[in-house]
Amino acid sequence: MTIAPEPVSSPSTSADHQRTQSPVRAIIQVTSGNMLEMYDFMVFGYYAAAIGAAFFPSKDPSAQLLQSFATFGAGFLMRPLGAIILGAYVDRIGRRKGLLLTLALMSVGTLSLTLTPGYATIGFIAPFLILCGRLLQGFSAGVELGSTSVYLSEIATEKTRGFVVAFQSASQQVAVMAAAAIGVTLTAFIEPGQMASWGWRIPLLIGCLIVPVLFFLRRNLKETESFEQIHHHPTFGETLSALLKDWRVCLTGIMMVLMTTTSFYVITAYTPAFGHAVLHLSSRDALVVTLCVGIMNFVALPVFGALSDRIGRKPLLIGSTILAIATAWPAMKWLTADPSFIHLMVVELWLALIYSAYNGGAVPFLTEIVPPRIRTTGFSLAYSLATCIGGFTPAICTWLIGATHDRSMPGLWLSLAAVCGLIATLIARPYDRKRSVS
């Protein structure tokens, strides 16, 4: 397909646009929904054992946990579909309207998980409804993160893009911290049996209650100037044709994001289950570690994003992937040889630092290598396809440990993802508008 020359629409903003919209306010508005999406995912991951017991009948706790994590991962399988369908829609109708749509779909998925009775009450309908809710969440999440990242990249200036886009990931850390803090508080006041029975629904209910606030914040968003400067917004067919033409960009993006998603789920959603079920530490200790990981990431991500603006994306990406390849598995070996709260804290914070360094460069770089006209679709598709693998990290790690009887396998899994990230970094290059003209 011949793609006409595009107007200047790089992910930056002019002085006039900056005067009409406060960047700080826009960051808060756009990342609020992204935070809710990740909050729901974290709650599911933190209470996977309780959710497994509530909805998946089995006498084997390990089987229940694996079924729960498989359902957790099933939502990721819907992300590529959401990325293509919703992404093409957003590239046509606008970033602002797309952000409102994904928030609405996300809210329905959250409500279904919160209110569905357990298997003991309604039988096999219960896990079916939970699965449907997860699939709907995955469908909306397929473009939520992409829309957020693209919006931030398009309101940023050339010199601040890494710093501004980093708040997409930083907002996810707020969700990690909130979910972990609520979990720590609940374990202090609710008995373990009550938490397994009904207490895990409380964090989800809190998520439902803040949805109206998020709608209020997002409805006042302004459209980005970069989108408005594109005179012809592609149809669905044109978007698919452009994706096929730029398949190498998508493949590079998938490999790049695999490192991001794998490391994120290792240090967040999987940590409570790993700490409690595998290392036999208390649930409270594992949640405290996760809370500290969220704090570390929240602080470090904007710092590394700003550093990528200063020294470039590639040096940061290469350095962090090499560190992950060299240290992730040995660190896990050290932890599993002598499990303790302190050792878990040290290892998870080290891996969190590597994640922050990598993600601080990877997300803005991905917005820069995708053509502007299909930026939301291309970014979201690459991210979603990578998440189809990385999002199953809790289930994969659970399976690997069971198959090999080696509790350090999460470190090896993370190292393999880092190899993919390193290769992608070496071959990736920013989008050149002149190359698209044929």
Quote the pLDDT of residue 155.
Answer: 84
In angstroms, the CA 12 to CA 163 distance is: 13
CA angle, corner 130, sides to 126 and 134, nearest 5? 170
Quote the pLDDT of residue 409.
Answer: 92
Domain range summary for the chain, segments of one domain joined by +: 22-430
Collapsed DSSP state (helix, strand, coil) of residue 3: strand
Quote the pLDDT of residue 168.
Answer: 87
The answer to whether the predicted template modeling score (pTM) of the entire model surpasses 0.85 is no
Quote the pLDDT of residue 60.
Answer: 66
Instruction: Name the residue with tokens 């071959």.
Output: 427
CATH number corresponding to 22-430: 1.20.1250.20
In angstroms, the CA 179 to CA 222 distance is: 30
- Residue ranges for the chain with pLDDT beneath 50: 1-19, 434-438
Quote the pLDDT of residue 213.
Answer: 83
Nearest partner of 259 among 357, 332, 147, 144, judged by Cα: 357
Quote the pLDDT of residue 230.
Answer: 66
In angstroms, the CA 88 to CA 175 distance is: 27
